[in-house]
Structure 1
Amino acid sequence: MYAKMGITMFISLYVTRLVLNALGASDFGIFNVVGGAIAMLGFLHAAMSSATQRFMSFYEGQGDKEKQKYIFNVSTVLHLGIALLLVVVLLIAGYFFFNGILNIPPDRVFAAKVIYGALILSTAFTVLSVPYEAVLNAHENMLYYSIVGVVESLLKLAVALVIVSYAGDKLVLYGILMAVIPFIIRTIMQIYCHKKYEECVIAPKRYFEKGLMKEMTSFAGWSFLSLTSGMVTQYGMGLVLNNFFGAVLNAAQGVANQISGQLMVFSNNMLKAVSPVVVKTGGAGDRVKMLDTSLSSSKFSIYMAAFFMIPFMIEAPYVLKIWLKNIPEWAIVFVRLQLLRVLLEQFTHPLIISIQAQGDIRSFSIYTSLANIVPLFLTWCFFEMGYPPYFLYVSWIFMWAIVKGGLILHFAKSKCGLSFSMFNKKVALPGFFTCVLMVFTGLLPVFYLETGFLRLVLVGCICWGTFILLQHFIFLDKSEKKVIKALFLAIKQRFVRS
C-alpha cells in the first residue's frame, strides 16, 4: 500500500501541475465545481460501499463463505439499481445545476455540460465496482488493490500528457478521458476477483435473501444519511465560495483538496488495511481487541498525518511556488487550514470503524449528520456579513473536528465501551504533544533563514527528528516498539533475499 502511495502521490501531484497549467485557473475551477456536483450526488455509492465492506468483512471474521456469496449477490443487484438511479437523478439535477445554481462563464457552459455527462458515466462504473472492492478489502489483498491504484494513476498521467499537447478544447477532452478510467479499473477488478475468490459468483436467483437485503439496505440507509450530509456540505462549500467569489477561488479550494487528499494517503492506507481487521474482530465477538486496534489506528493516523502535514503547512508558500507556476489567490491559506482540519479529525475519525462494526448506527448517523451540515449555513452567514474566504475553513474546523469529534467519542463509549481515560492516554495526549512540539521546533528555521530549498530541508529534518525522538523515548509503548522493530527486520530480510 505504501509503495503504491509513493508512486500515486508523485504522479497525482505532477498531474495536477500539468492539468492546472494546461486548463488555466478558471477552467480548472469549472472542472472542480462540476466534478463536485457528481461527487455530491454520488453519496449512494459511498454509503453502499461502507455497508458492503462491513458485511463482507464481518462474515469473513466468522468464516462463513456461503453467507458471503449471498452478500456479494445482494450487493451486486443493489449497486446495479443504484447505478441506474444515479444516472437518472444526475441527468435531472443537471438541468438545475446549469440553470441558476452554477456560476460558469457563458462561453464555457457547453464544455461544462460535456464534462458533466462524461462524469455521470464515470460515476456509474465506479458504483458497479464496489462489490469487488469489498471482496478485496475483506481478504486484505492490498497487493492487488495497490497494483490497480498504480494503474489508475498512470492512466491519469497519460490523460494529463494528452491534454497538454491537445490543440482543441482541453477541458472537454479532459472530462471525457477521465470518465473512461473507472470503466477500465472496474473491468480489471472484475476479472481478477472472479478468478481468485469463490464467493464472487453472480447468481442472484440462487444467492438472494430478502432479510439480508433489508439489513444491508438499513445499514446503508443510515450511512447514506451521514455521508450525504458530509458530501452536501463539502460540495455546498464550493458553491457558496463560487457564488460569493467566483470560479478562481474554486481553483484555490481544488488545490487545497488535492494536497490534503495526497498527504492523507498515508493515513488512509493504514485505515484501509485496519478496517477489515476491526470489523472481523467485531464479527468474532472480541470487543477488547476491536477497541485496542481502533485506538492504535487513531494514534498512528495522527502520527502519519502530522509527519507530512506539519512540515508542509510551515513551508506551504515555497512548496506551492515550486509545484505550481501560478498559485491561485488564497490557495496558501486554504491549504494550511484544510490540512489543520484534516489533522484534527484524525484524533477521532478511525473510531467510526468500531461504531460501524457493532452494527447499530442509527443515532450516530442522525447526530453526526446534523454536525456535518451546520458549517454550510455558518459559512453562508459569514460571507453575507463580509468575512474573508478563509472563514469557510473556520466553520468547518469547529464543527467537523471539534463538535463531531466529541460525538464520535460519545458513541464509541456508549456503543463499544470505549474508556475516555484510555483514549486520552493512548491517543489524545501523545497526538497533541507530538503535533505541538513538531510545530514549535519546525518554526525555528523560519525565524533565521530566508525562504528557499535549504530552509525547506531544515524544517523537514527538524520536524521529523522531533517526531522520531518523541516516539522513541516517550510515546510508543513496548508492544508498539516491538511491532515496528519486527517490521524493519522483515523489510531488511526481504532486501537481503532479493
Structure 2
Amino acid sequence: MASPALRIIKNSGFLYIRIAVVTFLSLYSTRLILEALGTSDFGIYNIAGGMIAMLGFLNGAMASATQRYMSYSEGENNKEKKKVIFNISLIIHFFIALILLILFVIIGWVCFTFILNIPNDRIFAAQIVYCCLIVSTVFSVTSVPYDAVLNAHENMLYYSIVGIIDATLRLVVAVLLFRVSTDKLIVYGLLMALIPLITFSIMRIYCHRHYEECVVSLRKYFDWGKTKEMAAFAGWNFLSKAGNVIVIQGSSIVLNSFGGILINAAHGIANQLAGYLLVFSSNMQKALNPVIVKKEGEHDRHQMLAYSLAGNKFSFILFAFFAIPFCIEMPYVLQLWLKEPPEYAVLFCRLIVIRRLIGQLTSTFVTSIGATGNIKQDSIANAIIMTLALPVACLCYIQGAPIYAMYVVLIFMVCLMGIADLYFMHKQCGLSSITFFKEVLTPCVTISVFTFVTGIIYLYFMPIGILRLSCVMITCFLVCIVSTYALGMSHNEKRVINGIFSKLVSGICNRN
C-alpha cells in the first residue's frame, strides 16, 4: 500500500499547489466580475451557465467512461487496448459535441422564449452569452480524451499547470472588463469562450508528444465491440448524471421562476464558494480515482475497497477542514470577499456546503462501482432519486415554502443517494455496511462535532472581525488535524503517514 499511497500524496501535493493558486485567482476574479457586471448581469450569466451545464452531463457521462476504461487498461498494462480506447473516445466526443450543439440551440430557444425571467433590455446580451458558452462547451468536450490520458497516467503536475493557466486567463478577462466601454456582459461571454480553446490546444500538444497511446488512427484502432461496451457504460452513467446535474443546475431556473434575478446571484455565489471549498477534497479524489480503477483492473478487490473507504473518509475530512470554519464565519467571509453580498447568500452558502459535506461520505463509491463495469442498477436508482427533487421543490414553493426550500430538498435527496450507493457497494463489491459505519461515518461525524463545537465558542465572547475569524480558523484547523490523527486514522494509515513524515525529516536533515 505504501507505493500507491506515496504516489497519491505526491499527486495530491501538485493538485493542492494548483488549488492554492487557482482558488486565490478565482475568488479575486469573481469579486472583480461581480463588481464589473453588477448583481443583475452576474445573475443572468449564472442562468445561461446553468442552462449549458444542464446538458453538459452528456459529456460528463462519456468522460467518466473514457477515464474508467483508460485507467483499467493501464492497470492491465495493455498498450494496444489504450490506443483503441483513445481513438474511440475521439470519435465519440466529436459526435457528443455535435449532439450538444443541436440540443443547446433547441433548449436555448425554449428557455428564452417561454421560461426565463430576464428583463427585456437584457435578453439580447443573455443570448450572446449563451452562444459563447456553447462554443466554450464544445471545446471542453473535445478535450476529454486528453484529460483521460493524463488521469490514467496520474500526471497531476501537468494537469495542475493547465489549471493555473486557465485561472490566470480568467483573471485577465475580469481585469479587462473594467477597461471596456461597450456591453460588459457580452464582452465577458466572448472572452470566456476563448479560454477552453487555449487550454485544449496546450493539452493536445503535450499528450501527443509524451504518450504513445495518443495516436490518431481511426481505422487501425477502432473496435466496434469496445465502442458498444463504452457506450453502454456511458449510457447508464448518463442516467445518474442526468438526474444529478439537471437538478443541481435546473435549480437555477426554479429559483429564478420563484425568486427572480437577485436570488440567482445569491445562488451563483453559493455554488462558487462551495465549489472552491470542494476542490480540496475533489482533487485528492482525482489523484485517488485512477488507483481505485487500476486495482480493480489488477483484480485486487480487497485493496480497491480499502482505497475507496479511505477516499471517502479523507474527502469528507478535507472538505470539513475548510467548510466548518467557513460556515461558522460565513457572514464575515462573504463580506470580506464581496463587500456587499447578495441577499440570502449567507444562508444559501451554508446549506449548499452542508449538502456537499454529506455527499463526501460516499463520494468514491461511484468510482468503485464503475470500476466493476456494472453501474446499471446504481445509476437507475440515483436518477430516480434526483429526478424527484425539482418537482418536490416546485410543490413546496407552490405551497408557500421559503426560498431556501430547494436546498433542504437537495440535502434530503443526497442522503437517499448515499444510502443507494452503499447498498450497491454491498451488492456488487461485497462491502459491509458495518465496515462503512465503523471506518467512515463514525470517525467523520466525531471529528466534525469536535471541530464545530470548539470553533463556535468564539462567537459568544468575541466581536465579528478578522481577529475572531483567525481564531476560529486556527482552532478548527488544529482540532480537525489532531482529532483526525487520534480518532480518524487506522493503524495502517498512521503507519504510512509516520513513514512519510520520517522520510521528510531525514531528507531535510541529510541536506543540512
TM over 0.5: yes
Which amino acid is 1:227 matched to? K
In the alignment, structure 1 residue 277 sits paired with structure 2 residue 311: no
In the alignment, is the contact (CA less than 8 A) between 1:19 and 1:164 conserved in 2? no
Which amino acid is 1:321 matched to? Q
Q: What is the CA–CA distance in structure 1 between the aligned matches of 2:501 and 2:172, rounded to whole Å?
A: 35
Q: What is the CA–CA distance in structure 1 between the aligned matches of 2:430 and 2:279, rounded to whole Å?
A: 29
In the alignment, structure 1 residue 461 sits paired with structure 2 residue 480: no
2:215 corresponds in structure 1 to: 201
Unmatched tracts of structure 2, length 5 or more: 1-14
1:228 corresponds in structure 2 to: 242
Which amino acid is 1:250 matched to? N
1:320 corresponds in structure 2 to: 334
2:398 corresponds in structure 1 to: 384
1:15 corresponds in structure 2 to: 29
2:458 corresponds in structure 1 to: 445
1:478 corresponds in structure 2 to: 491
Q: What is the CA–CA distance in structure 2 between the aligned matches of 1:251 and 1:184, rounded to whole Å?
A: 28
Which amino acid is 2:461 matched to? Y
User: Given the superposition, is the C-alpha separation of residues 495 and 248 from structure 1 closer, same or farther in structure 2, using an over 3 Å criterion?
Assistant: farther
Shift, 1:91, TM fit: 1.4
Which amino acid is 1:355 matched to? I
Shift, 1:437, TM fit: 1.5
In the alignment, structure 1 residue 422 sits paired with structure 2 residue 435: yes
Residue-by-residue CA offset, 1:275-322 (whole Å, 9 max, x unaligned)? 000000001100000000000000000110100000000000001111
In the alignment, structure 1 residue 299 sits paired with structure 2 residue 313: yes
In the alignment, is the contact (CA less than 8 A) between 1:152 and 1:181 conserved in 2? yes
SS of residue paired to 1:264: helix
Identity percentage of aligned residues: 47
In the alignment, is the contact (CA less than 8 A) between 1:21 and 1:325 conserved in 2? no
Please give the residue correspondences for 1:341-420 in structure 2 after superposition, counting only pairs within 5 Å.
341-400=355-414, 402-420=415-433
2:449 corresponds in structure 1 to: 436
In the alignment, structure 1 residue 170 sits paired with structure 2 residue 184: yes
1:211 corresponds in structure 2 to: 225
Shift, 1:495, TM fit: 6.8
Q: What is the CA–CA distance in structure 1 between the aligned matches of 2:116 and 2:410, rounded to whole Å?
A: 22
Q: CA RMSD in A?
A: 1.3
**Which 4+ runs in 1 deviate beyond 4 A?**
489-498
In the alignment, structure 1 residue 72 sits paired with structure 2 residue 95: no
Which amino acid is 1:349 matched to? S
User: Given the superposition, is the C-alpha separation of residues 206 and 463 from structure 1 closer, same or farther in structure 2, using an over 3 Å criterion?
Assistant: same
Equivalent residue in structure 1 for 2:105, among 91, 116, 123: 91
Which amino acid is 2:321 matched to? F
Q: What is the CA–CA distance in structure 2 between the aligned matches of 1:313 and 1:251, rounded to whole Å?
A: 19
In the alignment, is the contact (CA less than 8 A) between 1:290 and 1:354 conserved in 2? yes
Q: What is the CA–CA distance in structure 1 between the aligned matches of 2:469 and 2:507, rounded to whole Å?
A: 33
In the alignment, structure 1 residue 256 sits paired with structure 2 residue 270: yes
Residue-by-residue CA offset, 1:392-447 (whole Å, 9 max, x unaligned)? 110000111x1111001000000111011111111010001111111111110001
User: Given the superposition, is the C-alpha separation of residues 169 and 494 from structure 1 closer, same or farther in structure 2, using an over 3 Å criterion?
Assistant: farther
Residue-by-residue CA offset, 1:232-273 (whole Å, 9 max, x unaligned)? 111221111100110110000000000000001110111100
Q: What is the CA–CA distance in structure 2 between the aligned matches of 1:107 and 1:17, rounded to whole Å?
A: 25
SS of residue paired to 1:204: coil
Name the TM-score, length of structure 2 as normaliser.
0.95
Q: What is the CA–CA distance in structure 2 between the aligned matches of 1:344 and 1:90, rounded to whole Å?
A: 32
In the alignment, is the contact (CA less than 8 A) between 1:349 and 1:408 conserved in 2? no
